[in-house]
């Protein structure tokens, strides 16, 4: 008896791709697994490696792990129950590191049987987290961890917690002080609204004054960093194709923000290129040259951008003078973003992560100090 377990059509990739299938033998006995390659004439070859056969688990992981809402120190999460559901509920694990948990990893928390949601407390403000969930059937009978989900906590509301003014007789300077809450900083102004900050810091020394003058201080906080894209190229499949054109991605900024950095995952070091940022009219507004310094295809190299972006549509290009092979994968979070696989002459494989920083500007926290 021959049974086809898995049929992979139109294979056309230059990197190893994982394939798996679950099956149930019809009876106890010895079974043989074979591989049959078929194609039209004069094609290339298929390489097969790391073959394993394992007993299917009795406990299964949930699907569709979702972060419903976040605050500065908590997150509400949910998931779809596995089938069949685990008898002892679910366990979840969160971390600021992208390293996946293992079977022996101690979970961060758990819920009982039939419960498919949880509230995580005690988180740090303005922090990016990774989240996994698994089924728990009691004892050492646990499922594998779910696919990773990510979220970012909100920043703390900026506040001026204390302040002190000063006065003097005659012409001269004065020292003013305003203290913000944790995670915030102070900006000083000489106008009550709008204007340009004249100093940043808790202690402000005025210019020489010869009359009563009013200065204004506000507490301000940078928001958390939001990330887009897969954690590693190892988690991605797909095919490649040759191109002599620069690879690009388009995204919309719905609220003014700053694009902080791009992570690349080179296979080889010493490869040069440029990241080019263009506006909706295809006019170059910034260029960021880079040379790869890591190898292996799964170690990130961060290319710093730190470029402010007002509301609008933008294109991010990778400009390399040599032919490229690439795969484009589209995602749409709050701000639409794309990620791209690049392969440079079968040497350089790159995945781009667009990292955005949301900057909180809470000008309602205004402090006024009058000098006598």
CATH number of the domain that residue 326 is part of: 2.60.120
Nearest by Cα to 293 from 277, 276, 272, 278: 272
Percent of the chain with pLDDT over 70: 77
Give me the chain's average pLDDT, please.
Answer: 78
pLDDT band at 335; cut points 50, 70, 90? very low
pLDDT band at 9; cut points 50, 70, 90? confident
**One domain, residues 338 and 261:** yes
Which of 130, 152, 174 terminates a domain? The answer is: 152
- Which pLDDT belongs to residue 110? 97
Is the model's pLDDT at 163 over the cut of 60?
Answer: yes
- Which pLDDT belongs to residue 358? 34
**One domain, residues 280 and 345:** yes
Report the distance separating Cα 317 and Cα 267, nearest Å.
20
**Residue 3 forms part of a structural domain:** no
Residue 133 CB: number of other CB atoms within 10 A?
Answer: 29
Report the distance separating Cα 6 and Cα 237, nearest Å.
16
Q: Name the 3-class secondary structure at 192.
A: coil
- Which pLDDT belongs to residue 41? 79
Query: Between these two residues, 130 and 325, which has the higher pLDDT value?
Result: 130
**One domain, residues 243 and 202:** no
**Residue 122 forms part of a structural domain:** yes
Q: Give the residue-averaged pLDDT of 255-278.
A: 83
Query: Between these two residues, 271 and 94, which has the higher pLDDT value?
Result: 94
- Which pLDDT belongs to residue 353? 38
**Residue 2 forms part of a structural domain:** no
Which of 125, 152, 179 terminates a domain? The answer is: 152
- Which pLDDT belongs to residue 367? 31
Query: Between these two residues, 371 and 164, which has the higher pLDDT value?
Result: 164
- Copy the structure tokens of residue 152: 């970012």
CATH number of the domain within which 100 lies? 2.60.40.10
Is the model's pLDDT at 236 over the cut of 80?
Answer: no
Nearest by Cα to 247 from 335, 101, 350: 350
**One domain, residues 349 and 239:** yes
**Residue 54 forms part of a structural domain:** no
**One domain, residues 129 and 204:** no
pLDDT digits (tens, 9 = 90+) for 292-330: 898 877 778 888 898 989 999 998 887 765 433 333 333
- Look up residue 41 and give its DSSP letter: S
- Which pLDDT belongs to residue 105? 95
pLDDT band at 85; cut points 50, 70, 90? very high
**One domain, residues 264 and 309:** yes
Is the model's pLDDT at 241 over the cut of 80?
Answer: no
**One domain, residues 248 and 304:** yes
- Which pLDDT belongs to residue 366? 32
Q: Give the residue-averaged pLDDT of 235-263.
A: 71
pLDDT band at 351; cut points 50, 70, 90? very low
**Residue 212 forms part of a structural domain:** yes
- Copy the structure tokens of residue 289: 């040259």
Percent of the chain with pLDDT over 90: 37
What are the strands of the beta sheet with 203-205, ordered from one edge? 160-164, 175-180, 203-205
**One domain, residues 139 and 203:** no
- Which pLDDT belongs to residue 229? 65
Place of tokens 């106008």: 191
- Which pLDDT belongs to residue 204? 95
Is the model's pLDDT at 102 over the cut of 60?
Answer: yes
CATH number of the domain within which 219 lies? 2.60.40
pLDDT digits (tens, 9 = 90+) for 42-80: 777 777 888 888 877 789 999 999 999 999 899 999 999
- Which pLDDT belongs to residue 345? 29
**Residue 334 forms part of a structural domain:** yes
Query: What's the structural domain count of the chain?
Result: 3
Is the model's pLDDT at 246 over the cut of 60?
Answer: yes
Which of 101, 134, 152 terminates a domain? The answer is: 152
Query: Between these two residues, 236 and 123, which has the higher pLDDT value?
Result: 123
**Residue 77 forms part of a structural domain:** yes
pTM here? 0.58
Place of tokens 């499922």: 143
Per the CB < 8 A criterion, the answer to whether 359 and 226 are in contact is: no
The two beta strands, 175-180 and 203-205, are antiparallel
**Residue 194 forms part of a structural domain:** yes
The two beta strands, 117-120 and 75-80, are antiparallel
Q: Name the 3-class secondary structure at 59.
A: coil
**One domain, residues 198 and 135:** no
pLDDT band at 348; cut points 50, 70, 90? very low
**One domain, residues 218 and 233:** no
**One domain, residues 208 and 292:** no
Per the CB < 8 A criterion, the answer to whether 226 and 358 are in contact is: yes
**One domain, residues 169 and 124:** no
Enclosing domain of residue 202: 160-224+361-370
């Amino acid at each position: 008896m021959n049974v086809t377990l898995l049929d992979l059509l139109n294979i056309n990739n230059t990197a190893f791709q994982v394939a798996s299938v679950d099956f149930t033998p019809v009876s106890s006995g010895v079974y043989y697994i074979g591989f049959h390659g078929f194609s039209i004439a004069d094609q290339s070859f298929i390489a097969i490696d790391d073959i394993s056969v394992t007993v299917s688990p009795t406990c299964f992981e949930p699907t569709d792990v979702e972060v419903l809402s976040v605050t500065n120190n908590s997150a509400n999460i949910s998931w779809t129950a596995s089938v069949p559901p685990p008898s002892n509920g679910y366990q979840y694990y969160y971390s600021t590191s992208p390293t996946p948990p293992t079977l022996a990893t101690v979970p961060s928390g758990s819920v009982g049987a039939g419960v498919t949601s949880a509230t995580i407390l005690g988180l740090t403000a303005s922090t990016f987290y990774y989240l996994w969930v698994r089924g728990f059937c009691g004892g050492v009978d646990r499922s594998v961890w779910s696919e990773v989900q990510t979220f970012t906590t909100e920043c703390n509301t900026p506040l001026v917690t204390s302040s002190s003014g000063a006065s003097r007789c005659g012409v001269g300077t004065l020292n003013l002080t305003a203290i913000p809450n944790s995670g915030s900083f102070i900006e000083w102004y000489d106008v009550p609204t709008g204007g340009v900050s004249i100093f940043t810091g808790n202690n402000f020394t005025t210019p020489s004054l010869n009359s009563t003058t009013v200065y204004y201080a506000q507490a301000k906080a940078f928001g958390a960093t939001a990330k887009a894209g897969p954690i590693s190229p190892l988690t991605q499949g797909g095919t490649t194709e040759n191109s002599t054109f620069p690879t690009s991605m388009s995204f919309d900024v719905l609220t003014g923000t700053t694009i902080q950095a791009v992570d690349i995952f080179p296979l080889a070091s010493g490869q040069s290129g440029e990241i080019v940022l263009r506006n909706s009219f295809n006019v170059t507004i910034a260029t960021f040259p880079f040379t790869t310094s890591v190898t292996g295809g799964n170690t990130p190299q961060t290319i710093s951008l730190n470029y402010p972006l007002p509301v609008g549509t933008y294109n991010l290009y990778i400009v390399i003078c040599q032919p490229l092979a690439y795969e484009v994968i589209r995602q749409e979070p709050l701000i639409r973003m794309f990620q791209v696989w690049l392969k440079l002459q079968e040497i350089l494989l790159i995945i781009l992560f667009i990292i955005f920083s949301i900057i909180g500007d809470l000008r309602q926290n205004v402090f006024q100090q009058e000098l006598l």
